[in-house]
């Protein structure tokens, strides 16, 4: 089989790239290790920057997002029993949209099926070969049958644990990483959100976040030690701990209920450089991971895809390779700014026991300064709603 671009990974990054290339008249085949049902059911991010929403419109999959997504013009930071609002739209003219990654994936999968574009699910033993030559290829098995795809280029959208980055020789890649000593315990419940906007909480017992997926479905998170197990947290314990960290007014409004999903996500900051290796291009989590505090993971993947789709389009329409040559530097410039903001916000809101009382006093001083400075709030809002492409 031959194609112009072989995309490894059918998560949002791979599916969005495939959709943008299809609309540009570029043939692309997607190869995914998991089943279609597994991919669609994964529960991940739920906040889209305005630029990401606009890109989904460009891809022709924004109709349901615009109809069902919850537009947020602000958010709240809470500490010392008080809540303080940052007006994102007033400060930047931009907003964010709550629309779950599961829904984004569903929209993209339906669009790909409607286009009749080829996707191989449940692909075993995926290998990316000869990507430093002019004739890269992908080999894999489906139901024990060996298949091969010859391509002009390979796009590695297969996540942090995927085969693409792992196939790059160690001497050709540089990795920057920081692991955090805690995780996010998340719970999804069919209960009304405690607030119309997100609440980020800095508390002596640890960070908490109150968010949502819809007007009837809540998503809440608690900072917990990385050694904790989901089994250690029955629903009753989770709700009781969340209530302890909330201010009294918010705690009184909290509606609890049985969880429909519960998990612990480790936190890490990770970047690999470069993001291009011959005719192999990395995008999304294959190249970088951010702590979820700044809500940048899916949005960074979308910006990578935008840069890559533009570069492929210029190559096939005009034989212009400048976009491909500039892809890694262009993507990494935005990646590092998002890494900085996510790291800063994680440091600001989470409990770092090793930093003691001095560290806590620095957090409180920073929070007080942020809410007392229009300039600081504007910088926060610019980063949170998404830096320019």
Residue 386 has pLDDT above 90, yes or no: yes
27-38 confidence digits (pLDDT tens): 999 999 999 999
12 is catalytic: no
Selected catalytic residue, list 99, 180, 327, 384: 384
What is the dihedral angle through the alpha carbons of 367, 373, 379, 383, rounded to the nearest 10 degrees? 40
Q: In this structure, what DSSP letter does residue 389 have? A: -
72 is catalytic: yes
176 is catalytic: no
Selected catalytic residue, list 12, 22, 72, 193: 72
192 is catalytic: no
Domains, in order of start, for the chain: 2-72+95-177+269-347 (3.50.50.60), 180-266+350-385 (3.30.9.10)
Residue 45 has pLDDT above 90, yes or no: no
351-377 confidence digits (pLDDT tens): 999 999 999 999 999 999 999 999 999
pLDDT of residue 389: 85
Residue 190 CA to residue 258 CA, distance in Å, equals 8
Selected catalytic residue, list 220, 288, 296, 350: 296
Selected catalytic residue, list 180, 200, 315, 327: 200
* Distances from the Cα of 7 to the Cα of 12, 210, 277, 282, 326, angstroms: 12, 35, 15, 10, 20
384 is catalytic: yes
Selected catalytic residue, list 292, 315, 327, 350: 292
Average pLDDT over residues 209-219: 95
Residue 69 CA to residue 178 CA, distance in Å, equals 33
142-175 confidence digits (pLDDT tens): 999 999 999 999 999 999 999 999 999 999 999 9
């Amino acid at each position: 089989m031959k194609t112009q671009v072989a995309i490894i990974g059918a998560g949002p990054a791979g599916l969005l790239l495939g959709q943008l290339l299809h609309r540009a008249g570029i043939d692309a085949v997607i190869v995914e290790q998991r089943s279609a049902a597994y991919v669609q059911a994964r529960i991940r991010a739920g906040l889209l920057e305005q630029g990401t929403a606009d890109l989904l419109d460009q891809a022709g999959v924004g109709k349901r997002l615009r109809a069902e997504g919850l537009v947020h013009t602000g958010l709240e930071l809470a500490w010392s029993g008080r809540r303080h609002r940052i007006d994102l739209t007033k400060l930047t003219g931009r907003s964010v949209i709550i629309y779950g990654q599961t829904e984004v994936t569903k929209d993209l999968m339906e669009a790909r099926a409607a286009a009749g574009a080829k996707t191989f699910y449940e692909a075993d033993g995926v290998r990316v070969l000869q990507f430093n030559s002019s004739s890269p290829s992908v080999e894999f098995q489906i139901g024990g049958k060996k298949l091969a795809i010859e391509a002009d280029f390979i796009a590695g959208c297969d996540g942090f644990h995927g085969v693409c980055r792992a196939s790059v020789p160690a001497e050709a890649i540089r990795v920057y990483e920081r692991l955090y000593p805690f995780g996010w315990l998340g719970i999804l419940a069919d209960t009304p959100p405690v607030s119309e906007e997100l609440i980020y909480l800095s508390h002596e017992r640890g960070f908490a976040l109150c968010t949502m997926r819809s007007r009837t479905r809540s998503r809440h998170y608690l900072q917990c030690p990385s050694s904790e197990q989901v089994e250690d947290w029955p629903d009753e314990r989770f709700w009781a701990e969340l209530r302890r960290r909330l201010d009294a007014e918010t705690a009184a409004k909290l509606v609890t209920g049985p969880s429909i999903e519960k998990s612990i996500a480790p936190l890490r900051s990770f970047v690999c450089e470069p993001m291009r290796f011959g005719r192999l291009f990395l995008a999304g989590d294959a190249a970088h991971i951010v702590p979820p505090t700044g809500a940048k993971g899916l949005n960074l993947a979308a910006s990578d895809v935008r840069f890559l789709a533009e570069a492929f389009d210029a190559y096939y329409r005009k034989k212009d390779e400048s976009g491909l040559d500039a892809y890694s530097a262009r993507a990494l410039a935005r990646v590092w700014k998002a890494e900085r903001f996510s790291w800063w916000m994680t440091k600001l809101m989470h409990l770092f026991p090793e930093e003691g009382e001095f560290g806590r006093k620095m957090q409180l001083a920073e929070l007080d300064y942020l809410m007392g400075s229009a300039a600081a709030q504007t910088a926060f809002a610019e980063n949170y709603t998404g830096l320019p492409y």
